Structure 1
Amino acid sequence: MSLGNDNGYRSDSGRTDDAYSTIGGTRQTRTRLPDGEGGDGYGPPRRPARKPRSMIMMVGVIVLLIAAIAFANMGGGGGDDDNGGRGRAGGSPNTSSTAATGTKPVTGKNGTIASGFAHDEQGAQSAAANYAVALGSVEMFKKDSRHSIIEATHDPAVVEKLSAALTNAYSPEFLKNVGLDADGSSPNGLTFVSRTIPVGTKVIDQGGDTATIEVWCTGLVGMAGQGSTKPVTATWFTISEKLKWVGGDWRIESSSQKEGPTPVNGDNRASTADEIASAVQGYGGFTYAR
């Protein structure tokens, strides 16, 4: 479903400036010049300490918990002919690799998850985007709905083993760490948020009945409501899905996730906990098409 971050997920660990700090016990006065002016006379300017990540940020979306096969460095060399017209190495992508196809994404649904994708590149990309949404949803934190999602999105050959692994991963201790009750429910007065929003898709490899698709996503994760100690924050990540054509549809054989690409945060005012909870409850998701 990887998935900067303040508001309680990181603790400030920067230094404070002290013009009379003790250096080597000599009480020397330390003058710090602006960066680029030769440092402060005692070595190069110090970089701010990196802030630690909390467990909720390390989790991001549930794809991190899947026992997936990590893909080696796939992709790229050559020009347009080597890429099947999907992009130019080291340059801007072709228009065809970023423009919408205009093809209807699906013909049906498997429960609440889109199904019936076309047996081509466009269908594989649409499937990967919709599966990323399902695997990053709140329903993954409850046993029964999680098993249904895994059945609807994965190759039947891996469902049993994966479901068992995820049952162990979603232990009561893990659920407690993200602020949920032992059964995956939110405490009274709070709304748990876990939502994945695809930004774009890219074909890494496709041929016949197999395809490897990357889905660039942003996501929301945290607890909304008054008194929450785990506020909802945004994450950015890329999911790589290895798909197989099984039973007339694309299904996931394995998947992995990496951080980013992450844009610079804007200057938007952070909404209140109640505003976030109301938005999550009031705005539904989409069926994603390529």
Structure 2
Amino acid sequence: MSPGDEHDYRGKEQGGRTDDPYSTLGGTRQTRTRLPDGDPGHPHARRPVRNSRSLVTITGIVVLLVAAIAFANRGGSDDDASPGAKKPGTTGSAPTAATGTKPVQGKNGTIASGFAHDEQGAQSAAANYAVALGSAEMFDKTKRDSILDAVIAPSSLNRFRTTLDKAYSADFFRNVGLNGDGSTPEGFTFISRTAPIGTKVTKTTPEQTTVEVWCTGLIGLAGEGSTKPVTDGWFTITVELVWVNGDWKAATHSQKDGPAPVGGDNRASSADDIANAVNGYGGFTYAR
């Protein structure tokens, strides 16, 4: 498959690159053939002997292509980043485009940490925190406390913990198919997973940034005979982040339904297929 084929396959609607810089290397170049002097229409006119210049040109193109791909795949540093990566909102920045700047410097347990002190870092933090706060681990008190310690600002931690301890009640557990104590019934797999689709900054100052995270998610109980099968949903999470102790932390968190696309005509998979997929495919560290 040529680089041009890959460009056409992905297309704009699937988030593909709309202007692949490598598609012009090799795919659109043409070779001009110079006929020998004499009768240009003679069917037996002798073709010129190919010299080494064509071989050198082809070799040069291949070397440039390999070098360009290697450079594109390189991790990159702030010095190599586009203007939009260094200063969000300037030329080169796009709402869903990767900037090339490495956004995460470390981890707090299994959750990313060490986000950049700019809009890009705030968006990355909000997306990662949406994943953590929407995970199945939130239904376990010990794991929930650990997640809150990692993502919530110290000044808001007690309020979050008290509110969520009340929210994750026995009635709530039963409503999603769990036992009253939050444990998963034998023979079933409990699934709760959030996947960010995009982020948007709605308000920002050097020490406080509000980010909206558009998400899709899964929740339910996978297993034969489940009365709470796994369903999907679409929602938008609004996170107010504050800069504290060298990182972005969540101070407030709210959620509303949608925007939701029209449902597709995909055939629903079996409970076992869903359980195997969730157990077999790990989550991501999200970043701008």
TM-score interval, smaller chain: 0.5 to 0.7
Is it true that 1:248 corresponds to 2:246 in the alignment?
A: yes
8 Å CA contact retained: 1:223, 1:232: yes
State the match for 2:51 in structure 1: none
Cα distance in 1 between the residues matched to 2:265 and 2:170:
37
State the match for 1:228 in structure 2: 226
State the match for 1:169 in structure 2: 167
Cα distance in 2 between the residues matched to 1:115 and 1:229:
38
State the match for 2:59 in structure 1: none
Q: Secondary structure at the match of 2:224?
A: coil
Is it true that 1:279 corresponds to 2:277 in the alignment?
A: yes
**Residues 209-240 of structure 1: CA distance to partner in whole angstroms, max 9, x if unpaired?**
11000100000011101110111111001111
Cα distance in 1 between the residues matched to 2:248 and 2:140:
24
Pick from 94, 98, 102: which aligns with 1:104? 102
State the match for 2:208 in structure 1: 210
Pick from 128, 131, 135: which aligns with 2:129? 131
Cα distance in 1 between the residues matched to 2:146 and 2:116:
22
Cα distance in 1 between the residues matched to 2:93 and 2:110:
32
Pick from 151, 155, 158: which aligns with 1:157? 155
RMSD: 1.6
8 Å CA contact retained: 1:105, 1:288: no
Q: Secondary structure at the match of 2:196?
A: strand
Structure 1: which 5+ residue stretches go unaligned?
1-83, 87-93
Cα distance in 2 between the residues matched to 1:103 and 1:182:
45
Pick from 261, 284, 287: which aligns with 1:263? 261
8 Å CA contact retained: 1:113, 1:130: yes
Q: Secondary structure at the match of 1:201?
A: strand
Amino acid at match of 1:98: T
Pick from 178, 183, 186: which aligns with 2:184? 186
State the match for 1:143 in structure 2: 141
State the match for 2:37 in structure 1: none
Amino acid at match of 1:244: V
State the match for 1:3 in structure 2: none
Larger % of helix: which?
A: 2
CA shift for structure 1 position 152: 0.7
Cα distance in 1 between the residues matched to 2:198 and 2:208:
20
CA shift for structure 1 position 180: 1.0
CA shift for structure 1 position 98: 2.6
Cα distance in 1 between the residues matched to 2:93 and 2:259:
20
Amino acid at match of 1:228: S
Overall identity of the aligned pairs, in %: 64
**Residues 14-68 of structure 1: CA distance to partner in whole angstroms, max 9, x if unpaired?**
xxxxxxxxxxxxxxxxxxxxxxxxxxxxxxxxxxxxxxxxxxxxxxxxxxxxxxx
Cα distance in 2 between the residues matched to 1:99 and 1:252:
24
8 Å CA contact retained: 1:206, 1:212: yes
**Residues 103-137 of structure 1: CA distance to partner in whole angstroms, max 9, x if unpaired?**
21211111111100000011000000000000000
Cα distance in 2 between the residues matched to 1:132 and 1:188:
28
CA shift for structure 1 position 95: 5.7
Amino acid at match of 1:122: Q
Cα distance in 2 between the residues matched to 1:156 and 1:251:
8
Cα distance in 2 between the residues matched to 1:130 and 1:95:
20
Cα distance in 2 between the residues matched to 1:217 and 1:97:
15
8 Å CA contact retained: 1:142, 1:183: no
Q: How many residues align?
A: 201
Cα distance in 1 between the residues matched to 2:247 and 2:181:
32
State the match for 1:21 in structure 2: none
TM-score when normalising by structure 2: 0.67
Whichever of the two has the greater Rg, that structure is 2
Cα distance in 2 between the residues matched to 1:97 and 1:197:
17
8 Å CA contact retained: 2:93, 2:99: no
